[in-house]
Amino acid sequence: MPSKTILSWWLAASALWVLAGCGAVSGPEEQPKSALGTGSYGTDVSSQVTQVTVTDSLGKTVGHFEYDSQQFTPLYQASDASDGLRVILSAESGALQVTAAKSLGRADTACRYQVALLARDQDFELGLAGWKTNPQGLDVYWASANRTDDYRAFYCALLSDTAGVAIQAQATDAQRLEAKILMALLGSLTKG
Amino acid sequence: MMSKKLLLSLLALTLFINDASAWIPDRRRLYEDRDENVYMVIPALASMPGVGVFVGVLGSFSNLWGSGVDAAVTEAQTVGNSDGTGSDIHIRAYALREVPLLIPGLTFEYWFGDIKFNDYYSYLPGRDSPNYLIPYTGEFNYYFLRPSYRLWERRFELSYNLVFFKGYEINSAGQEVLQASHAASGQIKLDFTDDWVDPHKGLRMTYSTNLRAPKKSILGTSNTEEDPRSEQVKTHQYNLGLYLPWGEQTTLALYREWCSAQGLEESDQVITCGFLRLRGYPGGRWSDRFAQTKIAELRYSIPTNLDMDWLLVHGKLEGLQLAGFYEEGQVSPQDDERLTQDIHRSYGAGVRALIDAIVLRLDLGFSEEGPQTHLTIDHAF
């Protein structure tokens, strides 16, 4: 075999080696990055808000968010900074429930892991996912999944180098995941 | 598992049989007699959107200056864009193999890898793992040390494998964390084939199990408390390769693998024994507490005996090998009928360059989830 042929084959093979595994993303297609928006469902947000603080593992405040305390009823509120679960909120007579917990590491890792778990263990169908930027300029990753009468969306944000927050919204229909009070909560999420 | 018992019986039969030489094939050649300073260097150049120009080289060197030592180098790096915004992506991997120690037959192998990608991807473990990638930061250092003791023209091999990993991982809560941890395993291999590198006939059996890993070694220091799973979970892996000659040039290679993990049965986490080796799926696609794989591969060799003494390659190209393969396997949380239900299938073809003791392998595998390319050194089994 002439040497030129062998060399050409090696070069082609090498290119395949480098390209193998690059750029492949499976599951539902990721949406282009967009603005978070203000929501399209339900009552407008009232001026009565409650602030929730998010801390890292050392107890240092890394961020906070606010929720409409007229429409959301807290079912659980963390009593101290070390509690990983920050708050569980309910609205629309329980048809919309929001859970906020501390998170570590990349936002897209945490959010995609949670919806993958739902698909694996509870037969959820995987939905759309992607990055959104909230009005505070914070990048929030969201991923969704659903099954009959159970619609979930996870929103994850990194608030310091390693610590962040994961917010799960659970609703009885897809519309409620676009609730104005939910988008206001996510829109208030900020670092510091 | 019946298959596991069969393999154990074969192992026992092999050890206690009176006249083993009657059915154990003679070696076609001895690994120790391989030519000196055989090498090949494979350059790579690719332009990737959003990443920049990627330049790399893959090199393999055999029996350096007759010392018996083999070496491998992979060095790949993005080069900066003209505007200076090129991302820093690199793969640096170095390996030294067959480094002799004081006792005849005792050698060690050492690998070091320094990998940095923008993103690395993982799948959830478990039988029902969705086809859904979970990204995390692809930045880690990997160290591997393997002392091996080989006897009887490499027909018997006992190895201890120690791995130290330092980099980003996804923890059991699904969060990306920076880890530094050890893993250890032991392995016994019986190789009754006619050639250690490219077998044409005979059989090969391997048993490996995880061992208690140190927190500190010459490779590094773990930064976490001991992972209770490494203490409480015992994994067992059995491999059996059967090589059937069909004329001078064709080999039908059959391969069977089983693995199991015992311990922490009450845990709500998926405990895994390893991954399915199906070339049509991405690495790490399928894992669970029990796993089984079957592979049939037909290898057809075209002798070339071409002496190559070029800039990037030195050695004798003994032959080119064409291969077609079919693979199937499944994982399950229990050792039950689910291991044989809804089987994952993979098939493909490949070409191999047989350069003395180096097998350069390019395989293209297909599955229901798309194609996968493998360019690597050594046979798959």
Question: Which residue numbers in chain A have pLDDT < 70?
Answer: 1-27
The pTM (predicted TM-score) of the whole model is: 0.86
Task: Give the distance from residue A139's alpha carbon to the nearest chain B alpha carbon, in angstroms.
Answer: 16
Return the higher-pLDDT residue of A126 and B52. A126
Count the neighbouring beta carbons within 10 Å of the beta carbon of residue B121: 19
Task: Give the distance from residue A126's alpha carbon to the nearest chain B alpha carbon, in angstroms.
Answer: 9
pLDDT single digits (tens) B308-343: 888 888 988 999 999 999 999 999 999 999 999 999
- Report which listed range, A24-28, B54-58, B77-81, B367-371, is most confident: B367-371
Distance between CA B187 and CA B202 in Å, rounded? 20
Which residue of chain B comes nearest to A22, CA vs CA?
A: B48
The residue written with tokens 């929501």 in the block is: A39
Pick from A54, A109, A169: nearest CA to B172: A109
CB A63 within 8 A of CB A191: yes
The residue written with tokens 């994850």 in the block is: A156
pLDDT single digits (tens) B245-270: 999 999 999 999 999 999 988 888 89
Inspect the interface and report whether the beta carbons of A15 and B46 lie closer than 8 Å.
Answer: yes
CB B305 within 8 A of CB B324: no
Inspect the interface and report whether the beta carbons of A109 and B170 lie closer than 8 Å.
Answer: yes
Residue by residue, DSSP assigns B69-119 as -EEEEEEEEEE--TTS-----EEEEEEEEEEE-SSTTEEEEEEEEEEE-S-
Distance between CA A183 and CA A130 in Å, rounded? 16
CB A163 within 8 A of CB A56: yes
Supply the DSSP symbol for B282: -
Inspect the interface and report whether the beta carbons of B133 and A114 lie closer than 8 Å.
Answer: no
What are the structure tokens assigned to B128, written together?
Answer: 């029902």
What is the enclosing helix (H) or strand (E) of A156?
A: strand A150-158
